[in-house]
Structure 1
Amino acid sequence: MTETPAAGEGLDSAIAVVGMSGRFPGAPDLDAYWNNLADGVCSLTDFTEDELLADGADPQEIRGRDYVPTKGFLPDADRFDAELFGFNRTEATALDPQHRLLLQTAWTALEDAGYDPLAGPPRTGVYVGGAVTEHMLAAQTDPRLAASIGALQVRILTDREFLAPWVSYRLGLDGPSLTVQTACSTSLTAVHLAVQALLLGECDAALAGGVAVDTVRKRGYVHYQGGIFSPDGRCRPFDEQAGGTVPGNGAGVVVLRRLSDALADGDRIRAVIRGSAVTNDGATKVGFTAPGVDQQTAAIVEAWAAAGLDPADAQYLEAHGTATQLGDRIEMAAATAAFKGAMGSRNIGIGSVKSNLGHLDAAAGVAAFIKSVLMLERETLVPTVGATRPHPELGFEDSPFHVVDRTVPWARPERGPRRAGVSSVGIGGTNVHVVLEQAPPVAPPAADAAPAGPELLLLSARTRETLGDLAGRLASALRRPGAPSLADTAHTLRLGRTPMAVRAYVVAGDRADAVARLQELARGRDATSAPADAGDGELRALGEAWLTGEQVPWTGPGRRVGLPAYPFAGDSLGALDLSSRVPHEEQPTPGGQPSDDLETAVRALLAEALGLDAVDDPEMTYFAAGGDSLTAVHLVGCLRDDFDIDVPITLFLEQLTLHEMARQIIAVKEAGGSEDSLDALLAEFEAE
């Protein structure tokens, strides 16, 4: 049973963090992220000249005196499990790597919360943002791609304004869907907007966060004297050696619910948001790109006031901390003014995750937010990497802060739970601050020494290899100290995972038994062949029903707990860049060719639009091949422009094989066209 906060402690306005997911430099998941943070690892990558050249870098640029071959690099940022999300190969290749990464991160965040990603909580909103990307710029100026899939489709698949709608559409989330853009503070602003939407009742759950993948290629940057980038490829916030920031890529998404709802539904509560605020510097600063003191201070003060707390109640501040001369100085001045109630104690730790990862642009704020939640969960403060001595011009001696320079236990305060503030600042002046609090205590699960009985663990994946990977990960998780109870594990697997085609099950009496059977599955062996134990026959019957594709009913007790997420196994789809484009060559119009040749050309057009090598399968239908209404609009236009065939768009709504569709298109040509043209359909829409 979860212990609720005492009355008057902000329950009505508190928001629970019930799930999180992130892909950051050096960390494919949050377990690796925490290990890197706790070990003080700098996850910035220094590239060799050969690596840069192999990835298409300009030889003259990288051999320049001021080129820094360093970045917070995200390996495999172009990998995507396209079929899982309903994209054909052509669409998935055109889809911006940012969109791909955000979709997978959102999926994992919902699984972390213990919810089926395709059957999430009712009225779930999406509040996310992203950066400008090389792929997006190349795609939207490539005439070949526009001719292949349609200019509108290119924009929808690549523009960052569609980041939130794609998540809502592919995961079936029907709450508000907002793509947020406030430059570097985007993802923390998204968290604030999600909090406000939950408090106003606009949604009952929310995904919030951001993504930044400016390029999937190995790239450094050029350092300019007086610019924001570090001359040596290291970011040292608040340090006497600070010289600037380093760019990086990453993605993070958190799942939020009202605390009262999360407690009532037995959700896994990772931390609590007590308050948040957003301000803008307006015209009170020296320049558009410069930060301002007063409104940074105001954001902090307003957030803590919204929480019903004083900034002096904090024990830690996760700062924006870019390590730039102007940025750090202004942020320290603003924070010192806001936390003046704690002056003289120097008991508030301060740090910045940019020392580990670099500056993740639109994903910077959520990376800092997730870091702070992990510290609260583990009651541990982690270091700002490379901290030596505070910068003498920042006035630490007259502030309540000290830079956390090593991993230390987070001492419990004399009154109240552990609390932290998280700040983010965007170019253009949007300042955000969020107040985080340690989750309320949860009673430990019942000991496996006296189990209530055997449990049924259900697993599924798209492929047998992925299923084995998933079983191995689950076995490892159940071996760890503090692993969830078998009952809660079974509960989460039944309610918190999407049923897929390749299935297996395990019936086990305790965790050790479950681990052994899951390891058998991971090795590709049948883990259900052991004789049935007394009392588990009904569970085995349910397991066998599961194997045949049935949805197994579940009404038993249990709590949602953190388990390994689905191991995506998509291909590397690459990304477009401006240098790879070639001029579009006009193709001869095939309008007058013989019908046999015309049918071949029409089949080739269908194959290209649907991402198929060829239209060879006589049973393949348009929808089974991944066709949708946007692709249909594109095909109608191509058939008209390239073949002088005026095809009714309703043809693409019928359950036809692609072979039948090609023949009917030829029949339309031979019949002289159709009255049900795209123009007629659009005219009908406009009339409505």
Structure 2
Amino acid sequence: MTETVNPANNTTDALDSGTLDSGTLDSAIAVIGMSGRFPGAPDLDTYWQNLVGGVCSISDFTDDELLADGADPAEIGGRDYVPSKGYLADADRFDPALFGFNRTEAAVLDPQHRLLLQTAWAALEDAGHDPLAAPPRTGVYVGGGVTEHMLAAQTDPKLAAQIGALQVRILTDREFLAPWVSYRLGLDGPSLNVQTACSTSLTAVHLAVQALLMGDCDTALAGGVAVDTVRRRGYVHYQGGIFAPDGRCRPFDERSGGTVPGNGVGVVVLRRLSDALADGDPVRAVIRGSAVTNDGAARVGFTAPGVDQQTAAIVEAWTAAGLEPADAQYVEAHGTATELGDRIEASAATAAFKGALGTGAIGLGSVKANIGHLDAAAGVAGFIKTVLMLEHATLAPTAGAGRPHPELALDDSPFHVVDSARPWPRPERGPRRAGISSVGIGGTNVHVVLEQAPPSPTAPRSTSPEILLLSAHTEEALRTVAARLATALRAPDAPSLADTAHTLRFGRTPQPVRAYVLAADHAEAATRLTELAEGRAVSTPAGADELRTLGEAWLRDEHLPWPGQGRRTALPTYPFEGESFGALTLDTRRQEPASPAAEEAPESLGGDNLEHSIRALLAEALGLDPSHDPDMTYFAAGGDSLTAVHLVGTLRDEFDLDVPLTLFLEQLTLHEMARQIVAGRDSDDSLDALLSEFEAE
């Protein structure tokens, strides 16, 4: 069914607000959706509450916790071991069926890939778009860090023997972060991995902005992920190193002693502002300009930052925005709390913002004090923080901020460190604006200029009943969806019921477990959603027969002649409920039991024994348990072409059977497939020819 939206003169309203003129409208980029998971925050609502509350979410582990997660007793007992980290809880949980992976693939898939897929899904939902029916020409610009899981998987010969070395690499290497998102969500725009060390995710945002302005794509996902290990781990402090001796990151503070590592993931959805306003997208903030530079050789060492090109990145970004750096009221700094890094960043920013109106006129902060240094995800963590501050018109404090370090000379600079939550007043000229900086080892500097969103048109009041369509992968998830939506509709700033209904219809992927609720106002909707969440009978209003008929058609997965009009709005996103799939470690690689198919020599297998062993081989490669449905086809069981290539090779090497790759493309049950393999189905194609054909495709 074709979606209908009512732009309600969005572009005109935005221009009349005084925040944008027709020229800047063409060069501005809208942030229409966001999702992230950070230390102490499984969602962005919790993230904001932690930020505005000045909460430090860096965890301090006990010896028992570290030992239980496999830490070296000798290492954690050392004098210089610091048992602290920005720890990301449940980083190994994943719902493979939702993304089309079988259990074997899910266990091998790097935790970074798992988290990024889920976060990309949630970001599109936050933007009011169905994750599996995103707009055409949607690009992906993301990056990640090196992980212990990836290194362990790619050096494990048993794992390579089980599913194939190429499959292992594709499932674990950070090179395939962007392609997996594009493939599993069906996104056909550019798909680029970005790697600039600590500035990776903000560089990804910059590249996505440029791609939108150049017309390479019409929608873009941008961000980053960093999960070096899912286990509780501290670090060893070295005198003169970058890590803090006490497990706390204190940017620009007189007590600063270094940074603290952390894990996290963040994704934002971007569109050209003119398109977003015309299509009724929920605009959360506006990117006015961005720039990237590199220090080149103008620094004391490869890992050291440089002043001049950091200053240049800031000035170029504000110039691209058609603004002056003095137009900023806040700067989210890279802020690692290292002696050299903070001193150079303060010098570079002071030079760039020297035209600010008065000493200390611009607020300064760094989210690393709250969550640690998230490596490839550090920039997007600061970006999302700044969008949230603009939305709430509130400056969030840098956690634990004390007296500024005297050597930074901030008292004579345009900056003051934000040390407590405070209102962010609208300036006399123009809207609220902020800059975000990120710096990578290797010299890549990024700066992005953010501006508050133009005012949204007021939704017309309506007392007509609406139908809220709900679906999920399981009954439990459906109850959670209903409970979260009920809470959202009770909030003072809840979206209109018409926009809520419209977003649920067009901005969510229809899933097998379904329900619907009829209501004429927010209170009625929240009550009935709560009934559904609690497993009680859901009351229905009198009349509304047409909507009830529509709801019953929804339950039967029939065509829906959608009534009325609406706009996309931000609603609670899908409650992923996947189980723990763990992660591999270099010290204790997963010890796979010997394949039942390999326990006996091929010559000792015949008839039923051979067929049984081949069935076991298929089940092992597809991650099936013994009770799997014997009538499943290969692809229904989660098989793909790479696994098929691996199975063809294994059958040849271990059973001396030449099986054509085309057999796996046929609509055979797994048991029928095993029988045909035993029967030695003839084929003129050699394995080498099939492999060549597959690679050519």
Summarize the alignment of residues 194-205 of structure 1 with structure 2, pairs less than 5 Å apart: 194-205=208-219
1:454 alignment counterpart: 465
Query: What is residue 537 of structure 2 aligned with on the other side?
Result: 526
1:608 matched to which residue of 2? 620
Aligned mates of 2:551, 2:155 — CA distance in 1: 52
**Of 590, 597, 605, which aligns to 2:609?**
597
Alignment of 1:282-321 (within 5 A): 282-321=296-335
Question: TM-score scaled by structure 1?
Answer: 0.97
Choose which of 585, 595, 609 in structure 2 pairs with 1:577: 585
Q: Structure 2 CA distance, aligned partners of 1:250 and 1:554?
A: 39
Asked whether the equivalents of residues 210 and 362 of structure 1 are also in contact (C-alpha less than 8 Å), the reply is yes
AA of the residue aligned to 1:208: A
Which position in structure 1 is the counterpart of 2:35?
21
- Residue matched to 1:665: 677
> Is the alpha carbon distance of 1:131 and 1:551 closer, same or farther for their aligned partners in structure 2, counting shifts above 3 Å?
farther
2:244 and 2:259 in contact (8 A); partners too: yes
Does the 8 Å contact 2:584/2:590 carry over to 1? no
Return closer, same or farther for 1:551/1:127 CA change in 2, 3 Å cut-off.
farther
Query: How does 1:107-146 map onto structure 2 within 5 Å?
Result: 107-146=121-160
Q: 1:685 to 1:608 in 2, by over 3 A?
A: closer
Q: Which amino acid aligns with 1:610?
A: L
1:517 pairs, out of 528, 546, 559, with 528
Give the aligned partner of residue 341 of structure 1: 355
User: Residue 372 of structure 2 is aligned with which of 337, 353, 358?
Assistant: 358
User: Equivalent residues in 2 for 1:492-511 (5 A)?
Assistant: 492-511=503-522
Asked if 1:227 corresponds to 2:241, the answer is: yes
SS state at 2:309 partner: helix
Cα distance in 1 between the residues matched to 2:670 and 2:254: 66
Q: Which residue matches 1:651?
A: 663
Counterpart selection for 2:14 from 4, 9, 19: 4
| C-alpha distance in structure 1 between counterparts of 2:695 and 2:483, whole Å | 55
- Provide the secondary structure at the position in 2 that maps to 1:619: coil
Shift of the 141–485 alpha-carbon distance from structure 1 to 2, 3 Å rule, reads same
Residues 647, 676 of structure 1: 8 Å contact kept: no
The letter for the 2-side match of 1:106 is A
User: Residue type matched to 2:184 in 1?
Assistant: R
Residue 436 of structure 1 aligns with an amino acid whose one-letter code is L
Q: Does 1:403 align with 2:417?
A: yes
Give the match's secondary structure for 2:14.
coil
- Whether the 8 Å CA contact 1:595–1:666 is kept in 2: the answer is yes
Partner of 2:486: 475
Structure-2 residue corresponding to 1:374: 388
Structure 1: distance between partners of 2:350 and 2:187? 41
Q: d(CA) in 2 for partners of 1:339 and 1:508?
A: 52
Q: 390-399 or 212-221: which moved more?
A: 390-399
Q: What root-mean-square deviation, in Å, do the aligned CA atoms of Structure 1 and Structure 2 show?
A: 1.5
- Taking the aligned partners of 2:559 and 2:344, their CA distance within structure 1 comes to 57
- Partner residue of 2:186? 172
Whole-Å separation in 2 of the counterparts to 1:114 and 1:335: 37
- Deviations 1:306-340, CA, capped at 9 Å, x for gaps: 00000000000000000000000000000011111
Map of 1:330 onto structure 2 = 344
Contact 2:488 2:494 in 1 (8 A): yes
CA distance in 1 between counterparts of 2:634 and 2:607 reads 21
**Aligned amino acid, residue 581 of structure 1:** R
User: Structure 2 CA distance, aligned partners of 1:618 and 1:105?
Assistant: 34
What amino acid sits opposite 1:510 in the alignment? D
8 Å contact from structure 1 (residues 114, 492) kept in 2: yes
Q: Return 5+ residue gaps in structure 1 as ranges.
A: none
| SS of aligned partner of 1:4 | helix
- C-alpha contact (below 8 Å) 2:256/2:337 kept by paired residues: yes
Distance 1:125 1:285 in 2: 35
Q: 1:626 to 1:478 in 2, by over 3 A?
A: same
Deviation of the 1:678 alpha carbon: 2.4
From 257, 276, 284, the equivalent of 2:290 is 276
Letter paired with 1:4: A
Mapped partners of 1:339, 1:613: distance in 2: 61
Alignment-mate amino acid for residue 554 of structure 1: W
Paired AA for residue 518 in structure 2 = V
Give the corresponding residue for 2:226.
212
Q: Separation in 1 of the partners of 2:425 and 2:14?
A: 22
TM-score, normalised relative to structure 2: 0.95
Aligned equivalents of 1:443, 1:615: Cα separation in 2: 55
Q: d(CA) in 2 for partners of 1:21 and 1:551?
A: 31
Letter in 2 for 1:471: A
TM-aligned CA distance change 1:684 to 1:442, over 3 Å: closer
2:445 is the counterpart of 1:435: no
TM-superposed CA distance for 1:684, in Å, is 4.4
Contact 1:589 1:642 in 2 (8 A): no
Structure 2, unpaired ranges of 5+: 1-7
Q: Distance in 2 between matches of 1:367 and 1:355?
A: 12
Partner of 1:682: 691
1:51 is displaced (CA, Å) by 0.4
Matching residue of 1:236: 250
Preserved CA contact (<8 Å) 1:603 1:614: no
C-alpha distance in 1 between matches for 2:193 and 2:381: 18
Separation in 2, partners of 1:10, 1:55: 52
Q: Secondary structure at the match of 1:578?
A: coil
Please tell me whether residue 383 in structure 1 is matched to residue 391 in structure 2.
no
1:622 equivalent in alignment to 2:631: no
Residues 1:106 and 2:125 aligned together: no
Size of the aligned set, in residue pairs, is: 679
- Give the letter aligned to residue 129 of structure 2: Y
Relative distance call for 1:354 and 1:551 in structure 2 (3 A) is: farther
Distance 1:489 1:316 in 2: 33
Q: How does 1:43-122 map to 2 (within 5 A)?
A: 43-122=57-136
CA distance in 1, matches of 2:253, 2:301: 25
Aligned AA (2:534) = R
**Superposition deviation, residue 121 in structure 1:** 1.1
Structure 1 position 8, deviation (Å): 4.9
Instruction: Tell me the percent identity.
Output: 76
**In the TM superposition, what is the alpha-carbon distance from 1:617 to its structure 2 partner?**
3.0
Residue in 2 that maps onto 1:38 = 52
1:345 to partner: Cα distance: 3.1
Give the residue type in structure 1 aligned to 2:658.
D
Cα distance in 2 for residues equivalent to 1:133 and 1:369: 24
